[in-house]
A and B are shown apart, each in its own frame.
Chain A
Amino acid sequence: MAFYILRRILAIVPTCLAVAVIVFAILRLTPGDPATVLAGDMATPEQLAQIRAALGVDQPIHLQFVFWIGRLLQGDLGISLISQVPVTQLILDRSGPTLALAISTIVSSVVVAVPLGVAAARFRHSWLDRGLMGFSVLGFSVPVFLKGYLLVLLFAVGLRWLPVQGYTAPADSMAGFATALVLPTIALSLSYIALIARITRSSVLEIIREDYIRTARAKGVGERLVLFRHALRNAAVPILTVIGIGIATLISGVVVTESVFNLPGLGRLVVESVLARDYPVVQGLILVFAMVCILINLMVDLLYCVFDPRISY
C-alpha cells in the first residue's frame, strides 16, 4: 500500500511536466498578445514591439519554455505579465474564496444528498422518491448562473437577508464570511446534490436487493442500521467516484459562480488571465489544477480501500 501511494505521488512529476508542456504549447499557439492588453488599443506597432521585448514574449518559443521550466523547477511560477505580481502570490491571494466555496459546496452536497438518496431508495416510488427525481432533473437542467440570479433576486434584493455579492475573509469577519458564502454554495451545490442523490439512490437500490441485506433484516437488524451500515457502505464506491469527479468538475462550476457572486477566486482569475493572455498566470493555474485533480483521484482511490476492504493495491 505504501509503495502504491509513493508510486502515485511520484507519478505527479511526469504528469505535471506533460501538462506544463501541453499548456505552454497551446497558449503560445493561441492568437493574442499580452502587450496589447498592457499598452491598450491605441498603441502603435513600434510601442507594442518595445513592450513585447520588455516582457520577453518576443523571444523564440523554445527559449521562453526553457526559461519558464528553469524557474518552475526552482518552485517559481513566474510573474504576471499584466499586473507584475508573482504568480504564486496571485494564486494564494485568490485561492481562499475558491477553497471556501469548494469545501462548503462539497460538504453541503454530501450532507444533503447522501441521506436523500438513501431515503429515496428506501421509499422507492413514494412522493419523496418522485420529488427527488424531479429535483434531480431541475438541478441538472437549470444553469448555475440562472440559479444564482434567482437566489439573489429572492434572498438579497427581495428579502435583503444576504449580500448580493462579494467575499469577506474569515479573519476579517466570520459573520461576513458565512453570509457571503450562503447563496453561492446553494447555487453551486444544487447540481451536485442532484447528481450525488441520484447515484446514491441507484447504488443503494442495487445493494438492498442483495442476500446479505435480506439476511441482516431477517436477523432483526433495525432498518436504519441496515441502510446506513450495510447498504450504504457497500454502495459507497460509485458514490465516492462521483464525488471525486464532482470535485474535479467543480473548477468549471466555480468560474461561473464566482462571476455571478463576484467572489475573487481562482475561477475568475483563470478567465481574466486567459482573456488577457497572461501566460505565466494561466500556466501556473493549470498546473495547480492538475495537481489538485491528481491528488483528489489518489484520495478517492485510497478511500475505496477504507469503504471496501476487498479492494487492495
Chain B
Amino acid sequence: MAGFPRIWRLCSHVSSLFGIVAVLAAAPAQATTLRAVLNSGLRALDPVVNTSVVTNVHAMMIYDQLLGQDAKGEIRPQMASWATSPDGKTYRFTLREGLRFHDGSPVTSEDCIASIKRWGQVDTMGQVLMKMLAGMRAIDEREFELSLTQANDLILEALAKTGSRPAVIMPRRLAETPPSQAVAENVGSGPFRMVMPEFRPGVRAVYVRNTDYVPRREPLDGSAGGKQALVERVEFVAMPDQMTALNALVNGEVDFLESVPYDLLPMLDGNRAVKIDVLNKEGNWTMFRMNFLHPPFDNRLLRQAAMLSVRQQDVLNALVGDPKYYRTCPAVFGCGLPYESQYGSDFVVSGNLAKAKALLKDAGYQGAPVVILQPSDNPFASSQPLVIAQALRRTGFNVQVQTMDWQSLTARRANDGPPAGGGWSIFVTFSALGDQSDPIRSLFVAAAGKKSWFGWPDVPEIEELRTKFALASDKSERRSIAGQINKLAIDEGLVAPLGQYVYPSAYSGKLSDVPAYPRPVFWNIKKAD
C-alpha cells in the first residue's frame, strides 16, 4: 500500500506534463482563424472542370461572380450591374469600381468575356446561353455587351447561378485554358485569397482575407450584397472520419462541420458550446434511374411498375431516419422551388403495390433480371438500392443487387450494354436540389437518347419542350413548360424521385452570423476571441 501514493504522484506529474505540452501545442492557434471540416477534402481547384461541392465552396472563397441571387431567388448586381436594351436582346454590363484580381491586376471586360466563354462551353445553362448568343464585345475596360439572337432573360439566371459550375470570373490569361483542363493558377477577385504554399491536396486548404476586396454596400443576401471577410484566415481541414471530426469540434480544435451524420447528432445533445443548424435549407434530393436501352426497362409499363413499387417513406427512413430532416416529394424539379409540381403525388410518393403487380402482368414480364448497382462506400446512395430491391422483389421482379464502390458504379453506369453483359438496370443518385431546379440545369430530364445522361432515354417531345423552355421569355410560360416536362418525365419513367432531405451543420458557439446558404460559405461570419 505504501507504493500507491508514489504511483499516484507519478501519475499526477505525468498528467501535469501532458497538460503543459498540450497548452504549448495549442499556443499558435489564432482567434481569427476559422477551421472548417467539409464533407470531403479539396483536391481539384477549377470550378469549371470539377462540379463537386467542395470545389464549389473553394470557388466561392476566391472567385466572384458578375451577378448574385438573393434569398428569394431575385437576380441582383454583384461584380457588375446591367442594363437591357428596349428589345430585350442586348445586355450591357458595367463592372463596379475597384475590382482587382489577387495578382493585383484590375478586373476588365476582356477577363469577363473570356471567363464566360470558357464556362459556356461546359455548363448546361451556359451551353444554352451560347446557342442564343449573337456576340460578346468589350466596350471599354469596365463595360461589355452580350447580344442575343432573341429576347431572353435566362442569361441573368445563368450568370448568377451558384450551384455546380458557377460562372466565376478569372483573369483572361487563365480563362483561355480549354475547359477540359484545369487552370494553372487559382487567381480570383473574391473576398479570400488562397495560400498556395500551404495547400495540401486532400488534407488542407488555407485562405486569407483579401485586403484589397471592396464589398458591395448592401447587406449580404444569398450571393447578392456585400461579401465580407471578417476572419483573417480560413482553413479547410479534411477529416475522413466523421466521429473524429465531431470530437474535434467538441474539443474546440475545429469550428465548423459542414454536416453531422444523423446517427451522431445525439452526441451533441446538451452541448451548449456547439450550435446545430440546417444551413442548406434547399437540401438534396435522391432518385433512381432506369436503363431505357435494355429489358426489362426498355418497356414503359415496367418502368412505371418499378416506380409504383417503391414508397418514398421507406427509402427516406433508411437513408435519413429522422422525419425532421426529410420530406417526400413527387416533383422532378424539387419541392419548395419555383418549378414544383405535385403531379403523381398519389403514386410516386406512396407507391401502389396492387397497380404495380397489375402492370407487371399487363407488360408480360418474363423474369428478365433487374441489376441494381449498390455503392457500399457512399453513405448518400448506399441504402436506397437495398430498399428498392426489396420493393421490386415484392412486386415480382427478378432482382440482383451488385455491390461495388462509387467509382466502380460511375464506370459501370457508362456501360450501355445489356445488364448480363456488364451493363445495369437501375442505379441511385443524389444531388443538390438547386442543381436540378429547372429543365435546363437538370441533366436527368435530358432525353436525347445516347447523347443524354446515363440511362439514355429517348423522348423527343421532352427535348422539344426543353428548347421551348430555354427560349421562353416569360416566367409563367416557363412554369407551364416545366410542368409539362415534369409530367412526361414521370410518365415515361425518366426520373423516379425518392424524396428530398436536409442535413444539419454544426459549428462552434464562438461563430456568429453564419449564413444560411445551399453550400458552406464563409462570408460575413464572425468569430469571437
Contact = CB atoms under 8 A, between A and B. Distances in A.
24 contacts: A32-B405, A32-B408, A32-B411, A33-B411, A38-B44, A39-B50, A39-B51, A41-B51, A45-B453, A48-B414, A50-B180, A82-B43, A94-B203, A156-B251, A161-B18, A163-B22, A163-B26, A164-B244, A164-B251, A166-B248, A173-B28, A262-B244, A264-B200, A275-B377
B404 interface: yes
Nearest to B240: A259
A41 B251 contact: no
B51 A40 contact: yes
Contact of B244 (A38, A39, A152): A152
Interface in B172-206: 178-182, 200-204
Contacts, number: 171
Contact of A161 (B22, B44, B51): B22
A275 B407 contact: yes
A47 B407 contact: no
Nearest to A93: B200
B247 A178 contact: no
Given A82-B43, A166-B253, A262-B244, A33 B24 contact: no
A268 B245 CA distance: 15
Contacts of B411: 31-33, 36
A90 interface: yes
Interface in A171-221: 172-173, 175-176, 178-180, 182
Count class of interface residues, chain B: 35 or more
Contacts of A262: 237-241, 244-245, 248
A260 interface: yes
A51 interface: yes
Interface in A227-284: 259-262, 264, 268-269, 271-272, 275-277
Interface of B: 15, 18-19, 21-22, 24-28, 41, 43-45, 49-52, 122, 164, 178-182, 200-204, 237-241, 243-245, 247-248, 250-251, 253, 377, 404-408, 410-412, 414, 429, 431, 435, 443, 450-454
A80 interface: yes
A41 to B, nearest CB: 6
B453 A44 contact: yes
A149 B52 CA distance: 30
Contacts of B201: 80, 82-83, 85, 90
A166 B252 CA distance: 13
Contacts of B453: 42, 44-45
A93 B49 CA distance: 25
B251 A163 contact: yes
A178 B24 CA distance: 11
A40 B247 contact: no
Interface residues of A, number: 64
Given A31-B407, A32-B408, A41 B431 contact: yes
A134 B443 CA distance: 59
B299 to A, nearest CB: 24
B50 A38 contact: yes
Closest 4 CB pairs of A and B: A40-B51, A83-B201, A32-B407, A175-B24
A171 to B, nearest CB: 12
Nearest to B25: A176
Nearest to B49: A38
A63 B36 CA distance: 42
A43 B240 CA distance: 25
A52 B19 CA distance: 52
Contacts of B181: 54
Q: Which of A33, A37, A38, A80 has the most CB of B within 10 A?
A: A38
A76 to B, nearest CB: 18
Contacts of B239: 165, 262
A39 B453 CA distance: 14
Nearest to A258: B240
A138 interface: no
A157 interface: yes
Given A37-B407, A45-B414, A51 B180 contact: yes
Nearest to B432: A42
B22 A179 contact: yes
Contacts of A269: 202
Contacts of B454: 45
Contacts of B452: 44
Contact of B405 (A164, A166, A272, A275): A275
A143 to B, nearest CB: 14
A74 interface: no
B253 A165 contact: yes
A102 interface: no
Contact of A260 (B27, B202, B241): B241
Contacts of A276: 43, 407
A259 B241 contact: yes
Nearest to B251: A164
A53 B51 contact: no
A43 B52 CA distance: 11
Contacts of B204: 264
A311 B50 CA distance: 58
Contacts of A166: 237, 248, 253
Contacts of B28: 172-173, 176
A48 B180 CA distance: 9
B51 to A, nearest CB: 3
Contact of B178 (A30, A54, A82, A94): A54
Contacts of A176: 24-25, 28
A48 to B, nearest CB: 7
B410 A36 contact: yes
Nearest to B267: A157
Given A84-B182, A156-B247, A42 B435 contact: yes
A85 to B, nearest CB: 6
A108 B446 CA distance: 60
A41 B164 CA distance: 10
B412 A31 contact: yes
Contacts of A130: none
B429 A41 contact: yes
Nearest to A172: B28
A173 B25 contact: yes
A41 B431 CA distance: 8
B43 A149 contact: no
A161 B443 contact: no
A285 interface: no
Interface string A83-96: 11100001001100
A261 to B, nearest CB: 7
Given A80-B201, A83-B201, A173 B250 contact: no
Given A164-B253, A262-B248, A33 B414 contact: yes
A160 B22 contact: yes
Contact of A152 (B24, B41, B247): B247
Given A43-B51, A173-B28, A262-B244, A162 B18 contact: yes
Given A262-B237, A262-B240, A264-B202, 11 more contacts: A32-B410, A37-B407, A38-B49, A40-B50, A42-B443, A54-B181, A155-B18, A162-B18, A164-B248, A176-B28, A262-B245
A144 to B, nearest CB: 12
Interface in A113-128: none
Nearest to B40: A272
A36 B407 contact: yes
A272 B22 contact: no
Contacts of A159: 15
A176 B26 CA distance: 7
